[in-house]
Amino acid sequence: MLKHEVEEAKREGLIGTIIQQGACKCCGQLMKIETIIDWDEDRCHELATEKCDCEDAKEYTRKKYWHENANKKISLLFENKKEPVNQEAVGLMRNTVDLLIDNKLESISIDLGQGVKAKLCKNYKGKIKVERTNTVKMTEEA
């Protein structure tokens, strides 16, 4: 989310912020927004959309947040250095995120082999839940 980038920049104080103008992509309303110095027009409009109060912009921003959040969880659970899984499977999971957000899928489970399973589903609000299950089977032959 761009608004989080601005908040972070202000908190860390390493990059300057300025006041610019942006237009909501949904309703076209112009507004003054605090942005990061080298941002182009597209980013200003995107941030204005994140901040706009119109219903379409709120819906857009909510979905965008869910999308980014789900992708972050996928990275954390499946792309960490200790136990990464193959990139194609991660790509498949990323592709299903929007289908879930747009109500085209309710949930998806993927068996990644080696006892690793992934499950993506929605909670009651529509936010995406990402789960990783590692099953370790122990057998000993005597």
Q: How far is the CB of 45 from Zn ion (least distance, A)?
A: 11
Instruction: Supply the Cα-derived Rg of the chain in whole angstroms.
Output: 20
Q: Does 27 bind Zn ion (CB under 5 A)?
A: yes
Distance of closest approach, residue 26 Cβ to Zn ion, in angstroms: 4
User: Which of residues 27 and 37 has its CB atom nearest to Zn ion in the complex?
Assistant: 27
Distance CA 85, CA 114 (A): 10
Largest CA distance in the chain: 75
Name the minimum Å distance from CB 89 to Zn ion. 37
* Cα–Cα distance measured from residue 121 to residue 118, given in angstroms and rounded to the nearest whole number: 10
∠ at Cα 39 (33, 44), nearest 5°? 40
Residue 56, SS3? helix
Question: Contacts with Zn ion in 99-118 (CB under 5 A)?
Answer: none
Q: Is 21 helix (H, G, I), strand (E, B) or coil?
A: strand
Query: Judged by CB under 5 A, does residue 92 bind Zn ion?
Result: no
x-or-dash string of contact with Zn ion, 29-58, rule CB under 5 A: -----------------------x-x--x-
CB of 19 to Zn ion, least distance (A): 19
Q: What CA–CA distance (Å, rounded) separates 120 from 4?
A: 25
Pick from 1, 9, 26, 116: which binds Zn ion (CB under 5 A)? 26
Binding site for Zn ion (CB under 5 A): 24, 26-27, 52, 54, 57
